[in-house]
């Protein structure tokens, strides 16, 4: 008697919350995220952090992540075509370019400058066999394989000076974007904006902090109710444990493969 093989599916938990400094100043959260599971078990994730100096950074971040995901999901992306490195790189580059163009068009519609909608941008494409990331600016993307190896796929681009970074609307942002492809049996992925990078990373050596990520991966792997899971993630991001170490806006996307 034949039995059907269970297919591992992505379980995703994601949230963006307002930092305590923005709450005190009655400001909106400048972070945004978006994700979608495509056919053939392809997961696409985007996260962005609106520049604090940009008056419409929140709008820029929202436009960027939504456009990036829409650009990739509108194409026939399968695991087979993702076996070609050049295709993966092109998908990420085109998604970043589409996001940049959309933000610039939004600036025209709002009768303002693109710099007023400045944000960072991280785009990830993941399957059970690979993960690829395109990143402009700070924030971090990580992944772990079936052997327990946890690596940082990107490193925060903090610019020459503290609190300085490249933004999607900056000149040459697409040409200087980080592109990373890792072909392994992927089990978990994580994407976060810069508000969490000091907690989640050993910044001196660019290594993910396992005590931060491993409990989150375990949490995501046991998700049954997506709404409850998101509420729990929001509660974690707003906890005193986090607030004592960062007052910035926070975005965290965690995904794990499970049955």
E-strand stretches of 86-243: 121-127, 130-136, 140-145, 150-152, 178-182, 186-192, 201-202, 207-208
* pLDDT (mean) for 7-11: 86
Q: For residue range 93-127, what is the model confidence (pLDDT) as tens digits?
A: 999 999 999 999 999 999 999 999 999 999 999 99
User: Given this model, what pLDDT does residue 87 score?
Assistant: 97
22: tokens are 């923005």
Helix (H) or strand (E) holding 240: helix 240-243
166, 173 Cβ separation under 8 angstroms = yes
Residue spans per domain, the chain: 11-258
Beta-carbon contacts of 161 under 8 Å, excluding residues fewer than 6 positions away, are none
Q: How far is CA 107 from CA 47, 55, 60, 169, 170, in A?
A: 20, 11, 9, 11, 14
Percent of the chain clearing pLDDT 70 (strictly above): 94
Reported as half-sphere exposure (CB side, CA atoms, 13 A), residue 98 has a value of: 17
Structure confidence at residue 156 as a pLDDT band (50, 70, 90): confident
What mean pLDDT, rounded, does the chain reach? 91
Q: For residue range 134-150, what is the model confidence (pLDDT) as tens digits?
A: 999 999 999 999 998 99
Architecture of domain 11-258: 4-Layer Sandwich (3.60)
> Residue 224 above 60 pLDDT?
yes
Rounded Cα distance, 192 and 137, in Å: 12
Structure confidence at residue 164 as a pLDDT band (50, 70, 90): low
99: tokens are 């996001």
> Residue 159 above 60 pLDDT?
no
């Amino acid at each position: 008697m034949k039995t059907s093989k269970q297919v591992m599916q992505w379980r995703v938990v994601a949230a963006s919350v307002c930092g305590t400094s923005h709450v005190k100043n009655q400001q909106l959260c400048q972070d945004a995220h978006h994700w979608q599971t495509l056919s053939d078990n392809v997961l696409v994730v985007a996260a962005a952090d609106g520049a604090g100096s940009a008056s419409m950074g929140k709008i820029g971040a929202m436009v960027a992540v939504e456009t990036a995901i829409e650009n990739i999901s509108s194409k026939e992306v399968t695991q087979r075509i993702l076996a070609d490195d050049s295709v993966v790189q092109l998908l990420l580059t085109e998604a970043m370019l589409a996001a940049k163009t959309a933000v610039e068009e939004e600036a025209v519609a709002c009768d303002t400058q693109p710099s007023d909608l400045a944000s960072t941008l991280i785009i990830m494409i993941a399957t059970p066999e690979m993960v690829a990331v395109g990143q402009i600016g700070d924030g971090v993307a990580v992944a772990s394989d079936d052997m327990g190896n946890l690596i940082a796929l990107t490193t925060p681009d903090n610019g020459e000076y503290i609190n300085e970074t490249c933004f999607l609307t900056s000149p040459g942002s697409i040409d200087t974007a980080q592109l990373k492809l890792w072909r392994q049996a992927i089990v978990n992925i994580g994407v976060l904006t810069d508000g969490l990078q000091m907690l989640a990373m050993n910044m001196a050596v660019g290594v993910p902090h396992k005590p931060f990520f491993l409990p989150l991966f375990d949490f995501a792997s046991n998700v049954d109710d997506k709404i409850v899971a998101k509420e729990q993630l929001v509660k974690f991001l707003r906890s005193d444990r986090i607030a004592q170490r960062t007052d910035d806006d926070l975005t965290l996307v965690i995904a794990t493969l499970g049955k």
